[in-house]
Structure 1
Amino acid sequence: MITAACSWLLRTREASMRPQTVAEKILARAAGLGAVVPNQIVEAVPDFSYSHDYAYFAIDAFEKMGATSVHNPERIAVCFDHGTPADNLRDANNHKIVRAFARRHRFAEFYEGGVGIAHQVMVEKGFVVPGALVCCNDSHAPSGGSVGAFAIGIGETEMGFLWAVGKLWLKVPQTMRVELSGQMPKGVYAKDIILHMIARLGVLGGLYQVMEYHGEAARRLSISERFTLCNMAAELGGKGGIFPYDDITAAFEKSRARFPFAPVLPDSDAEYSSTFHLDLSELEPMVALPGREDRGLPVSEVQGRKVQQIFIGSCTNARVDDLAIAAQILRGQRVHPDVRLMVVPASREVAVESTRNGDLLALMEAGATVLPSGCAVCAGAHQGVLGDGEVCLSTSNRNMPGRMGNNNAEIMLCSPATAAASALTGVVTDVRPLLKVA
């Protein structure tokens, strides 16, 4: 009979001889180990953690544990984004509690509502750095993989525990290697890549796995495009998405990294659970039909469906390049009179830059309503709630019933280009004819 101690020694020996993926290397370092293997339970010390409005629940857990001091507050930040500005007494009072807690415990930063969506803000402000283990009590934390971090979502109770003791138990995930090749055709964008992947793999196709991106096409993607792909790892059931460190990462981090970091690359002979190949040149603009994110189809098979609301925003697709794509299509045009177009920049920094370059002005002149930077319509909490039977075409990441505040409404997912083209016509529209693409 193998004792627990013998089993641990065997697993440790197996790990020490095993080539490592990016996520495995990051977890091993954070756990003080030489190497790890999938499904191993490790006690890890995250490099950085952050929260948003739901920090209230983490604080509640923290206090119920009897904790009185926060570990490593200089590596913790909070950014309000879900229900801000508060539109009810409960949220306003919860915000009050979070503000006081963050200041009392001297968190590295506290950002008021309007600064932006936490995932966007933490990357653009340099808190999420390459090679770091990052935790957030939100499922779209994997966005941080865009800069080579292993960023994961955890629960509010786990966050309270992390603040109390400074470490967490984590299970080492498997890693899927994603090989991207080819050039994206005109009219196809990063959102179309991930919607195609989800349609092929299913919403559980990457269950508790990390999607590690490789290939010449992956290396050409901007940080914003990488952000989109890593962000929606959650819609594959994944634990994370990671682009290994390269020159594009280095250029992005050069003037913004808040913490020292060591770039992490996978071993050349690292072991992967599977390899997913995708030739980007074969892709078309995509739309995910209402109900589930894996109901993706080419726009050409969906076009003509009437929509009442269009949302260009969320942590998935509301950065400067996304707004520029939409502005290129809508500049000098008018939004269809039967459509409400809501535009929400991912952060104030994005809004300022898009104002200076004229893109936000072009969107407003076309008839868009611009809301404060935050989760807004995506969260369905207090802005842009849909009426019964209404359809929203959205650049966000989720389209399950009730996501935007009404179980009797429907949500479709698309790229900023498809959203902008559809805003002109009032129906789901293929953007390629507008771009003069055959």
Structure 2
Amino acid sequence: MGKTLAEKILSSHSGRDVTAGEITIAKVDLCLLQDGTGPLTIRQVEKLGVTKLANPKRTVFFLDHASPAPRKELSNDHMFIRQYAEKMGAQLVDVGRGICHVVINEKYVNPGEVLIGADSHTCTGGALACFATGMGSTDVGIGMAYGKTWFRVPETFKVYVTGEFPLGVFPKDLILHLIGLIGADGATYKSLEFCGPTIDKMDMSGRFTLSNMAVEAGAKVGLIASDETTRAYLEKMGRGDKYIPLKGDDNAEFERVINIDVSQLQPTVSFPHTVDNTRTIKEAAGTRIDQVFLGTCTNSRIEDWEVVAKMVKGKQKAANIRFIAVPGSESVLKEAIARGYYQTLIEFGAIMVTPGCGPCVGIHQGVPADGEAVLSTQNRNFQGRMGNPDSSIYLASPATVAATAIEGKLADPRKYIKELQSVGHPEVIDTEALKALAKSAQKTVERVAMDTAAVLGPAAREASDKVEGMARKAIADYGPKAHQAVKEFESKFSKLTSDVSKAVKDALKAKPAQAAKKKTGRTRVTASAKKSASPKARKATKARRGTKR
């Protein structure tokens, strides 16, 4: 019998084969703590008499829930954590740097690892094929102190996803649909293993959304196999060397198999006061809303900002709506500014908040009034979650939030997305991105051709033409579905440039004295060529330059 992804990872960290239902002591690779649970965890470690952490470089404290601190008690907690992290040599991600579950995956989490965190949404890291789970402060303290802790190996529900996302339907709608299907306690202490052709094509942002909300069905972890999408993400984050391919076995034993065809889904909304109280947008449209919120560890990544910014660009926010926007990390903030999304949301009328958890935790930055209704991209809508038990919270995708902000009531995002050929779901990006990539690639290969014309002219020119042709074909073939075209193009171009570079190096080794002609016809001579060229050749070169000038 094969193994599930959860069984594989826990077996590799237990020093023995383990199967679902067993209790095991497993090595911990990474510990996460935040400002709400951090002080309690620290005190638990101090009670143990531990003066040195098992792995301080992989113990990360985040000041994100009360960021910046709204009252002195929380400021004192921040100071306590800062001092402890410095004393123990642990990592500290300070105020304004982002949400723990966004930043930990940007900077630390790798496939095949075990991550424990004193926060229930630590399961977000499962999108990177990491056994990432939330635990109590005492258990996390044990992991910090000794580098291992106990686990019960979870049984696995296989969530097999097929079909193409319809226009206006997103991974957030998929996970809300799943939770509505099985219930808020339908997967208690199980591993949700997401797989299938739709997951294979899904970008990392969408995968993080799925894994993040696994716990809202009661799951211990929400795991997704690592693949080329995972590799590309890790490379972008500067740790491509940490990639390993990892997936569950086809013949593993699953407690339950859930099949979902996303082509049959509609935009979905969770109604108060439970996440599994789901309705389609057709049933939900028209519901009064007073405040909308784009952010949290569920939907605060650049892909989420992209969808919203493109939907609201050039439009006016409804007068009755307060729109709060919080980027998930400092890197998301910078990218949103660079792409113009930040400015677009400001012009639309959004209230911009520093990277962090924002109003999700209910202590500041957007606590609703009595009787008010909030539509949020967050993961929980329990009564009082946002700080006022006399308010109501609805959950939906960033696109539904954007449509609602425009209309002033719960609205269907599909009619706005139809206006945008560049937006269909988080994987879809503007064809302009593809064109820009093609232009950059063209210049790169032209530079190769220019600098090595004498030794590799025809080959380099052929490579340049191939790049240009691939870009034209991709744009023509995919149109609004440019994301897949970009991925295929990047993959092909990477191999192409690698082949060209190798050929260039080989050619230059063979003929180090050859000069290189530029595209304009002017001659560029390398240092070695200058040294070895004959007086007659040097004179001819000078004459040509003089004529062109």
Class of the TM-score when normalised by the shorter of the 2 chains: over 0.9
Deviations 1:101-123 (A, max 9, x none): 1111111x211111100110011
Once residues 164 and 195 of structure 1 are traced to their aligned partners in structure 2, the CA distance between those partners, rounded to angstroms, is 37
- How many angstroms does 1:38 deviate by? 1.2
Higher Cα radius of gyration: 2
Contact 2:211 2:223 in 1 (8 A): yes
Confirm or deny: 8 A CA contact 2:370 2:390 kept in the other structure: yes
**CA distance in 2 between partners of 1:359 and 1:210 (Å):** 36
Q: Aligned partners of 1:283, 1:147: CA distance in 2, in Å?
A: 25
Aligned to 1:276: 258
The one of 97, 103, 115 equivalent to 1:121 is 103
Detail structure 1 runs of 4+ shifted over 6 Å in the superposition.
none
Aligned ranges 1:123-202 → 2 under 5 Å = 123-125=105-107, 127-202=108-183
Q: Which amino acid is 1:148 matched to?
A: A
- 1:330 aligns with one of 309, 312, 318: 312
| Counterpart code for 1:26 | I
The TM-score with structure 1 as length reference comes to 0.93
The letter of the residue matching 1:284 is Q
Give the distance between the partners of 1:259 and 1:52, measured in 2 at CA: 28
Q: Does 1:358 align with 2:340?
A: yes
1:324 partner amino acid: E
Checking the alignment, whether the CA contact within 8 Å between 1:391 and 1:409 is kept in structure 2 is yes
Aligned-partner residue type, residue 175 of structure 2: I
Match of 1:415 among 382, 385, 397: 397
CA deviation profile, 1:408-435 (whole Å, cap 9, x unmatched)? 0000000000000000111000111223
2:78 aligned with 1:95: yes
State the distance in 2 between where 1:124 and 1:67 align. Answer: 29
Q: Which amino acid in 2 is paired with 1:334?
A: Q
Q: Which residues of 2 match residues 55-94 of structure 1 at below 5 A?
A: 55-94=38-77
The question of whether the paired residues in 2 share the 8 Å contact of 1:43 and 1:168 is answered with yes
Give the CA deviation at 1:147.
1.2
CA distance in 1, matches of 2:131, 2:54: 20
Higher relative contact order (CA 8 A, sep 6+): 1
Partner residue of 2:321 out of 311, 333, 339: 339
User: Aligned letter for 1:400?
Assistant: F
Tell me if the contact between 2:224 and 2:247 (Cα under 8 Å) persists in the aligned partners.
Answer: no
CA-atom RMSD in angstroms: 1.2
- 8 Å CA contact 2:231–2:243 kept in 1: the answer is no
Separation in structure 2 between the aligned mates of residue 162 and residue 245 of structure 1, nearest angstrom = 25
Query: CA offsets per residue over residues 355-399 of structure 1, 9 Å max, x none?
Result: 100111101100000101111111112221111100000000000
Paired residue secondary structure (1:70) = coil
For residues 310-357 of structure 1, the C-alpha deviation after alignment (integer angstroms, 9 at most, x for no partner) is: 000000001101011111111111111111000001111001101100
Question: In the TM superposition, what whole-angstrom CA distance separates every residue of 1:263-302 from its partner, at most 9, and x where no partner exists?
Answer: 3221221111110000010000011001000011101101
2:225–2:248 contact (8 Å) kept in structure 1: yes
Instruction: Tell me the matched-pair count.
Output: 417
Whether the 8 Å contact between 2:226 and 2:244 is mirrored in structure 1 is no
The residue type equivalent to 1:94 in the other structure is: D
Partner of 1:90, secondary structure, is helix
CA deviations 1:20-67 (Å, max 9, x no partner) are 11111110111111x211111101111111111121111011112222
- TM-score scaled by length of structure 2: 0.75
Q: Which amino acid aligns with 1:302?
A: A
Q: Which residue of 1 aligns with 2:3?
A: 20
CA distance in 1, matches of 2:380, 2:8: 30
- State the AA in 2 paired with 1:134: L
Percent identical among aligned pairs is 37
